[in-house]
Chains A and B, each alone.
Chain A
Amino acid sequence: MLEDKLLIWKFNRGHRDCLRVIYEKYKDDLVTLAAALLTNVGAAEDVVHDVFVSFIESAESFRLTGSLKSYLATCVANQARNKNKANRRQAGSGLEDASSVTTHSGGPESSAIFGEEMRRLSWALEQLPYEQREVLILHDYSGMTFRSIAKQQNVSINTAQGRYRYAMDKLRSMLDGEVKEWNR
């Protein structure tokens, strides 16, 4: 976090090169977040690209405050929401299209298992309404509070929490048996 504070400090004082450091540090997390929201890796990379382009373009007029990670997640979520609206009727390629899907687990055996998990999870996430998927991913993947998510979605906290519960129930119904088996 101290490193993030230093990055923010430098950015606010005009050190544009620190955007490279920020990108390198968070690019995988941001692509993953966008891909989970859009269930499309190509679109996800476009979103991350767009976020950094907007940073560059507006660098003179805005400043970073608070948590850098949360801020970036918010930017990606906003951009992904806009993209989702624009491309609502276009078919997504799905996470399973990603050739570079990996997991935090090591070893070829676990990679194979988590690869299968990813495909199932991708399919299940795709079945959720976008708003529910967004709450679920922002809360469980990015660690954002319901209050922040509600503010982003312009809804009450209760609505955000409700969407989360609906999303979890649906995911459980779609994945629960398989997940238990995978974790055995």
Chain B
Amino acid sequence: MEPLDPIKGLIKKLHLKASVDLDRRVHEDLSRGSAQYEPLKSAGVQPAIWRLVMKTKTARFTIAAVAALVVIGGFTFWPGRGTNGEQWWLAPPAAWSQEIMDTLDTFKCVTWRQQIVTIEPDGSEHTSMTWMKCYGSNDGNRTDIYDGDYLREIQWNVPDGNDVIGHSIRFDMGSYFIKTHKGMGNSNSKRDPAEGPRSCVEDMEKADRLLGTEIIEGRECVGFENDREDGKIDRTWFDVETKLPVRLEYRNLIRSPGSEERITIIRDQYDYDVDVPSETFVPYIPEGFISGHPDDFKVDIAITDEDLTVTEQPDGSFSVEITIYNKSPDPFPKFAVECYAGDLDKGGRFLARQAVGPIMPGDHVLSNQPGLKLRTNEKTISVVVSSRGNFPELNKTNNMVSKVVPNRQSEKPQTSEK
């Protein structure tokens, strides 16, 4: 072995002792720091898990059995902060995650909300108008998709042996379709209604950061953060009292040439062991809905000037009546008839929208929209029919007509189709 260079040896022997003054300064700051980051204390309410699980007869029976085990077997399990009010989340996850897993095992049905928040490059956040109410149960799952308050679609996934049958009904299109997902099922096992929360609890062993406590949905929650590949981050917020996950956040970074978009999928409003009617998970087809996948529809919706009638009402408002034709070989499920004041080429002013449909191939329907009010300088009413991007339009030249309203002839008539 080569002898150590004398100068290197000397450097390695360098040794100073930290002074008493430094010890005092650092320890004082550490004490102040620990106090500052002390997580919030709970108001000390009854464990909500008790309220949650007592909702069903089965759960009540299970709890009774567990209570018997506690008495007879001396088990020390009890959800919540514990008799000493200790911050259970500071203990190694292995010490408490199994307890949560066991609790999740007892639930037959779980519901939650899912929505997407987009973070723009300027830092502003936008929550999508579209959101989902999700139902998870042992027998299948269901997702209700809303645009704001409007229920747009319901999707079911029903296990069928080793397959899963996917059903969908579209209220905005008046259509439905059914698809078999081969090999996606498992006839030997029940579905897990709390799959998402369970997955997050499993990840706690690898949590990278403790986020401290926050009030979420009126409850004191403690958050953990996991780093994923490609800049993705998962966050899980646990109710301090029940220890159950109440909010899951999946932060994604979507890169495309020249741009970078951050979106976060948020699952919240969890309701554990909710009692929902069994028919919730049974797919149905509303009367009049037509079969077809949205991607397969090809439409040619047509309107003409001759079929547009504008009538002034005694109260000064106007009514619009127009006949809409389906010239395509496919049924046309649902579409929007929109009325505008003024010249659409100059922007127009939105007046009203009506959902119409379905129309069978070669057939037509009549749309009537009363109560349209024009301003004194507005002399034209335009009508536009549109699938609002839901279907590919075969002919885009026959979707708009305009008419000059009676007694307002000073504006140049606009009757050309577009």
A27 and B13 form a contact (CB under 8 A): no
Residues of B within 8 A of A90 (CB): none
Known: A59-B37, A63-B209. A141 touches B30 (CB 8 A): no
Known: A12-B208, A23-B30, A179-B7. A121 touches B18 (CB 8 A): no
- Residues on B lying within 8 angstroms of A by beta carbon are 5-19, 21-23, 25-27, 29-30, 32-34, 36-37, 39, 89-90, 92, 207-212
Residues of B within 8 A of A28 (CB): 15-18
Range for the number of chain A residues in contact with chain B: 35 or more
Indicate whether A83 reaches chain B with its CB closer than 8 angstroms: no
Within 8 A of B (CB), among A95-125: 95, 98, 100-105, 114, 117-118, 121
A16 and B34 form a contact (CB under 8 A): yes
Indicate whether A144 reaches chain B with its CB closer than 8 angstroms: no
A27 and B18 form a contact (CB under 8 A): yes
B210 and A141 form a contact (CB under 8 A): no
B33 and A32 form a contact (CB under 8 A): no
B16 and A35 form a contact (CB under 8 A): yes
Q: Which residue of A lies closest to B212 (CB)?
A: A60
Sample 27 A-B pairs with CB under 8 A, ordered by A number.
A12-B207, A13-B207, A16-B34, A17-B34, A23-B30, A31-B22, A36-B11, A36-B14, A44-B16, A45-B21, A45-B22, A52-B29, A56-B29, A56-B33, A56-B36, A60-B212, A95-B16, A98-B16, A101-B15, A103-B15, A104-B15, A105-B13, A117-B10, A118-B14, A140-B8, A176-B7, A183-B6
Instruction: Kindly provide the distance from the CB of B38 to the nearest chain A CB, expressed in whole angstroms.
Output: 9
Contact of A101 (CB < 8 Å), options: B16, B21, B29: B16
Instruction: Kindly provide the distance from the CB of B30 to the nearest chain A CB, expressed in whole angstroms.
Output: 6
A16 and B30 form a contact (CB under 8 A): yes
Q: Which residue of B lies closest to A35 (CB)?
A: B16
Contact of A100 (CB < 8 Å), options: B19, B37, B210: B19
Q: Which residue of B lies closest to A23 (CB)?
A: B26
Contact of A16 (CB < 8 Å), options: B26, B37, B89, B209: B37
Instruction: Kindly provide the distance from the CB of A1 to the nearest chain B CB, expressed in whole angstroms.
Output: 19
Within 8 A of B (CB), among A53-108: 53, 56-57, 59-60, 63, 95, 98, 100-105
Known: A27-B23, A100-B16. A14 touches B90 (CB 8 A): yes
